[in-house]
Structure 1
Amino acid sequence: MFKDFHALLKHPILFLSLIVILFLPVIYSAVFIFSMWDPYGQTKDLPIAIVNNDTGAKIQDKEENLGERVIKKLKKNDDFKWEFVNSKDAVKGIEKGQYFAVIEFPKDFSKSASTMLNPHPKQMEMHVKTNPGYSYSGQSIGDKSIQAVRDNISLSLREIYLKKIFGSLKDMRGQSETLSDNLKKMQQADVKLANGSQQVDKGLAQTQAAVPPLQNNPAFSQLILGSNQVTNGLNELASNTDKITKAIDKSLKQTDSLSFDEANAIAISDPVHTVAHNVTEVKNYGQSFAPYVLSLSLYVGAVAFVTIYPVDKRVGDSRSAANWWLNKLGLMLTHGLLQGILLSVFTQYVIDIEIANRGYFTLTLVVWSIAAVLIVSCLVAAFGNIGKFLAIILLILQLGSSEGTFPIQLTNHFFQSIHPFSPMTYVIKALRESIFDFEGSVPINEAIMIIGAIGLAFGLLLYFAYLGRLNIKNIRLNTRDLD
């Protein structure tokens, strides 16, 4: 069983090569994880060009230059590396990759904003240039700067107009209160006039009755009739004034609970505050990407192992497949075990990724490391160099189907269909659950059992691969004897 170990000691170069290969997953993981450790936390170094050609305009009786207003706010913002340049330098910079986005405010930027309450408002235009061909990921991050500037402008405009509208509403309420007070005084005066007019009516009637010549006088009768009409009109005016006053008072009572101060305008201009509650906490991009990189690095290490070590060759005179299988299996298990432990220790204490469940994390890496070695070794033992090619094909299929980067729902139908059959699918799920402490669609213990079952299956198939090789060799020997 230990013939392969003894053979290694007789070949120091091969032995040292296997020692070096043990560190390959570590090197692979370190390079990838450190290179993408926290890109979103470094956006302060991502240059974004700002060009202000805005000439300003009068907005609600006040001179405003929205371009300058935005620039003042951006100078206090360190989310990105804002660079304030002219149009010529901006175009040259975006083409050469000096800037990842260019945001330009045209001459009529503020003028367009001043038309928002006009019968025919003009939509504001903010000119944006990006160069995704130079760096698509950089451009994608740069898009956030564009959205940030757009939100800043929208917020500023809402504040300007809402302050004006709220100020007008506040003035209107004050004027309505004054009108209500004046109408009440007017209604009181109308009542007094109506009462006085009634007294005049009575006096005229008494005079006509007391003076006989006036009783049949048409002119005097017409005077009495006119006086009565004046009295009725004054009574009606007083009644209508009272109705108008009550209607205004009712409207004012409805707005008593409403406030139209500047603070209210600012609150309505940005009414929603998002309170986020995450199920898990991710420190940085490197931590979130680690499950994919770690699982991939161990498979790459397995491919390197079969490239250096001749898993399809017998050591000594192993006449039985079982003997051949046990000799190779011992070395494969040892290599897989050491490779998994080494990567686990390095990830936890050198890369320093925060891991919620270290036991499950290490167990997942060790089980997958052994399984990956057995998978690749089985393919090579069965098919020789063609097996190495098949191992690479299997790797490529797993890259697209294991949901290591984007959600599987965003990939095409082919990769979605093979997703459940990809070993790395369960490795990545188990590593994510051990790092971030949650139970996903496949619980971590089930995922580890699936990985172990895959490794066990290929370990058994490895025996039949060696058995097949021995049978083929025996057939060839028998054929030579017959010749």
Structure 2
Amino acid sequence: MKASWNIFLNDLKNIGTNWVAAILIGGLILLPSLYAWFNIEASWDPYGQTDQIPIGIVNEDKGAIVREEEIHVGDELVDSLKENQSMDWQFVDRELAMDKLEYGDYFAVIIIPENFSERLGTVVSGNPEKANVEYYVNEKINAIAPKITQKGATVIVEQISSNFISTVNGIIFEVFNDLGIELEENLPDIERFEEYIFTLEENLPEIYELLNETITDADRAGEIIDQAQGLIPQVEDATTSGLQTIDDTTDFLQTAEDRLNEMAPKIDEELANIQRMVMETNEFVSNIDSTTIDLTEGNPLSETLPEQIDTMLKSIDTIEEALIQLQQQNDKNNESTDEQTEEQDSSNNQETIDQALNELENMEQSLRELQEQLSAMESFLTDKQAEVDETFAMIKDRTAKANERVDEFVKEYKETIEPTVKEEVSKAKETLANARDILVTIQSTIPEIKNMLNRTDENLSEGKDILDYVSGEFPYVQDKVNELADRIRTVQDDTDLNELIQLLQNDPEAERGFFAEPVVLNENKLFPIPNYGTGMTPFYTVLAIWVGGLLLISLLSTDIHHKENYTGRQIYFGRLFTFISIGFLQTIIVTVGNIFLLQVDISHLFWFILFGLLCSAVFIMIVYTLVSVFGDVGKALAIILLVLQIAGSGGTYPVVLLPKFFQVINPFLPFTYAIDLMREAVGGIVWERVVHDVIFLMIFGLLALIVGGFLKETINKQTDKLKNKSKESGIFH
């Protein structure tokens, strides 16, 4: 080991005393860091500059009319993109956009077709159609740019979909909310409707029975209307005849009233004569004394009294004649009218006249009896003087009663009979006038009644047809009512209407916001990486350390010039110390530069540097051993191993996304564990993973030491032959 240490110290001395070697070593120490720094800086925030990527936007949307409202979704999208700075949006026409895309001035072109709004508007129709957005990309320009522009196009589609969904669902939930409120307001009516349906279902048999009865009644009503229409002419004739009868009766009453007025003075005069003569007779009889009568010389009573009685009988006959004529007139009135009120009035008149005639008849009978008694008295005067006084007394009594009866009749006639007859005649005339007005009204109404009957007949015919139709459809209606009632019962069993109302009632704005972003991603970064450059730092740092090793084996020799005094193992370890020392300096510059020059956000600075030194030591061991043991072939192997590790270590893409070959070799590559170890220092340490990675790195380093320290001389014997043979070509050194 001392000999190896001397080789290492001699190398340091030579570097320090030879300024050209010092400059070259300095360049070798600095160059790997530049490789890392440039790549980390370039990838620091590649998606933060997407606003410099030109994308053409072509809006050909013509708008649409949806529910009597004009919409222009394309214009709204253009307005929103003008405020969006994620891309360099260029708003041009189709021809210019496609020319610039083909030439490479635009990375992509997005075309909004003319039917864009129309297609979106079909959501309210029964056959909605999806709206299309045309996307053109020039993938020849750059490998990553198409992915970025595609993401921009996807964002546009997502924005349109989100706004559209939120708008449509906002409208839907506004309708739901209004429906919920309306349902709540109409809940009593709905419940009543349910009761109506159940009641209707229960009463359907009775309704069907009533319907059949109604059809029967309609048939009977049609027959009645036909009969009524047949009676209309008879009614017209009856009203005409009734008017004529009333007019005739009115004329009879007027004639009767005129005759009554005409006879009234005569009757009054005759009544006065009768009253006067009865009074005179009564006075005369009263003044005669039966004792003074000389039967043999003739009785003065027999000479004057019969004459007066005859006169009174004639007056009574005259009054009776007048009353009989009035009675006949009244009978004619009865025959000419059939009104109940007029019959009652005429009946009253008849009774009054009959009463007067009875009275007159009684008076006449009394006078005739008096006359007979006078005759009897005259015949018996000579024989029955004794009875003269008695007869005379009876005559006096009868004349007195006759006088009283005449006075009573005159009073009754003046106060009752004559006013009653006149009043009843007047009432009869008024009643007939009213009856005539009624008949005139009836007569004027008959045409309207005829029209009404005709319309009723037509309507009844139509109604009968409808009733027949309803009767024919009743089984279907009955089935539907029963079905509806069963559905209501099912809904009542499965759904609480109050819960449905609560479900429908909502905040439309809140629902709109929900469907605009139904899922909110609450991102919780377990090991936060602030930017893409920080995430790529472990890969580019490890890559720079390996590249630093490749530079060393490319410029520095793995052998010494005076090796006669040293064994192969001593040379291997002695020059290995030199390579590892330079590799440490390379790693320190790279890691410290990442921290302070690029200001990469690293969680554990110390461990970042320390893990870098470990990776450097292992990598130097590997590449140094390959070249030390295999010579130029080892250089090629180190380069091949670098290529495989860049692709298969998972430094840029997850291993699961790599082809199967790289997934298989991934566990056998030093980069796999070195990059993972550096990521622990950058993002946050999980010590179990650190131990795992350190163990595998040390295994790779140990294998390199075993091959270089113990197999170098054996292997070199075979490789020296190959090396000498390659020198003979004059191409290899």
Report TM bin, short chain: 0.7 to 0.9
- Counterpart of 2:500? 254
- Equivalence map 1:98-177=2 (5 Å): 98-173=105-180, 175-176=182-183
**Match status 1:55 vs 2:62:** yes
- Counterpart of 1:298? 545
- Counterpart of 2:699? 453
- Scaled by the length of structure 2, the TM-score of the pair is 0.53
CA contact (8 A) 1:3 1:327 kept: no
- Counterpart of 2:600? 353
- Equivalence map 1:285-364=2 (5 Å): 285-315=532-562, 317-364=564-611
**Match status 1:21 vs 2:28:** yes
- Equivalence map 1:378-389=2 (5 Å): 378-389=625-636
CA distances 1:255-290 after superposition (whole Å, capped 9, x unpaired): 135325531441343222221112221111111111
Counterpart code for 1:112: R
Counterpart-to-counterpart distance in 2, 1:31 and 1:359 = 23
Please report how far the alpha carbon of residue 404 of structure 1 lies from its aligned counterpart in structure 2 after TM superposition.
Answer: 0.6
Counterpart-to-counterpart distance in 2, 1:183 and 1:451 = 79
Aligned to 2:97, what secondary structure does the other structure show? helix
Which runs of 5 or more residues in structure 2 are unaligned?
1-5, 197-480, 722-733
CA contact (8 A) 1:54 1:108 kept: yes
Counterpart-to-counterpart distance in 1, 2:195 and 2:155 = 59
- Counterpart of 2:665? 418
Moved more, 126-135 or 264-273: 264-273
* Pick aligned residue for 1:428 from 670, 675, 690: 675
Q: 1:125 to 1:324 in 2, by over 3 A?
A: same
Counterpart code for 1:430: L
Cα root mean square deviation, aligned: 3.2
Counterpart-to-counterpart distance in 1, 2:191 and 2:625 = 100
Please report how far the alpha carbon of residue 443 of structure 1 lies from its aligned counterpart in structure 2 after TM superposition.
Answer: 1.2
Counterpart-to-counterpart distance in 2, 1:437 and 1:51 = 47
Moved more, 458-467 or 279-288: 458-467
- Counterpart of 1:367? 614
Counterpart-to-counterpart distance in 2, 1:420 and 1:287 = 24
CA contact (8 A) 1:18 1:308 kept: no
Counterpart-to-counterpart distance in 2, 1:49 and 1:177 = 53
Q: 1:120 to 1:388 in 2, by over 3 A?
A: same
Q: 1:162 to 1:60 in 2, by over 3 A?
A: farther
Please report how far the alpha carbon of residue 149 of structure 1 lies from its aligned counterpart in structure 2 after TM superposition.
Answer: 0.8
CA contact (8 A) 1:54 1:107 kept: yes
CA distances 1:30-62 after superposition (whole Å, capped 9, x unpaired): 111111110122222222221110000012331
* Pick aligned residue for 2:40 from 33, 45, 56: 33
Q: 1:71 to 1:259 in 2, by over 3 A?
A: farther
Counterpart code for 2:131: M
CA contact (8 A) 1:378 1:465 kept: no
- Number of aligned residue pairs: 424
CA distances 1:101-141 after superposition (whole Å, capped 9, x unpaired): 22111011101111113222222111111122211211111
- Counterpart of 1:206? none
- Equivalence map 1:3-22=2 (5 Å): 3-9=10-16, 11-22=18-29
Counterpart code for 1:5: L
**Match status 1:462 vs 2:708:** yes
- Counterpart of 2:653? 406
Counterpart-to-counterpart distance in 1, 2:556 and 2:601 = 35
Counterpart code for 1:36: S
CA contact (8 A) 1:318 1:324 kept: no
CA contact (8 A) 2:54 2:105 kept: yes
Aligned to 2:123, what secondary structure does the other structure show? coil
Q: 1:471 to 1:147 in 2, by over 3 A?
A: closer
Which runs of 5 or more residues in structure 1 are unaligned?
190-236, 476-483
CA distances 1:65-114 after superposition (whole Å, capped 9, x unpaired): 00111122222222222221211221122223322222111011101111
Q: 1:373 to 1:445 in 2, by over 3 A?
A: same
Moved more, 3-12 or 421-430: 3-12
Counterpart code for 1:145: G
Identity %: 26
Which one has a larger percent helix, Structure 1 or Structure 2? 2
* Pick aligned residue for 2:94 from 63, 79, 87: 87
Aligned to 1:379, what secondary structure does the other structure show? helix
Moved more, 272-281 or 95-104: 95-104
CA contact (8 A) 2:630 2:719 kept: no
CA contact (8 A) 1:306 1:377 kept: yes
Aligned to 1:256, what secondary structure does the other structure show? helix
Counterpart-to-counterpart distance in 2, 1:453 and 1:185 = 87
Counterpart code for 1:63: E
CA contact (8 A) 2:627 2:633 kept: yes
Please report how far the alpha carbon of residue 175 of structure 1 lies from its aligned counterpart in structure 2 after TM superposition.
Answer: 4.9
CA distances 1:203-262 after superposition (whole Å, capped 9, x unpaired): xxxxxxxxxxxxxxxxxxxxxxxxxxxxxxxxxx9xx99x99x97x96355313532553
Q: 1:405 to 1:256 in 2, by over 3 A?
A: same
Q: 1:165 to 1:300 in 2, by over 3 A?
A: same
Counterpart-to-counterpart distance in 1, 2:190 and 2:675 = 78
Please report how far the alpha carbon of residue 147 of structure 1 lies from its aligned counterpart in structure 2 after TM superposition.
Answer: 1.4
Counterpart code for 1:446: H
Please report how far the alpha carbon of residue 411 of structure 1 lies from its aligned counterpart in structure 2 after TM superposition.
Answer: 1.2
Aligned to 1:82, what secondary structure does the other structure show? strand
CA contact (8 A) 2:539 2:651 kept: yes
CA contact (8 A) 1:321 1:470 kept: no
- Scaled by the length of structure 1, the TM-score of the pair is 0.79
Moved more, 313-322 or 94-103: 313-322
Please report how far the alpha carbon of residue 5 of structure 1 lies from its aligned counterpart in structure 2 after TM superposition.
Answer: 2.6
- Equivalence map 1:176-187=2 (5 Å): 176=183
Please report how far the alpha carbon of residue 424 of structure 1 lies from its aligned counterpart in structure 2 after TM superposition.
Answer: 0.7
Q: 1:184 to 1:282 in 2, by over 3 A?
A: closer
Counterpart code for 1:357: H
CA contact (8 A) 2:177 2:508 kept: no
- Counterpart of 1:437? 684
Aligned to 2:502, what secondary structure does the other structure show? coil
Q: 1:19 to 1:460 in 2, by over 3 A?
A: farther
Counterpart code for 1:424: F
- Counterpart of 1:202? none
- Counterpart of 2:431? none
- Counterpart of 2:515? 269
Aligned to 2:645, what secondary structure does the other structure show? helix
Counterpart-to-counterpart distance in 2, 1:125 and 1:285 = 34
Counterpart-to-counterpart distance in 2, 1:182 and 1:168 = 20
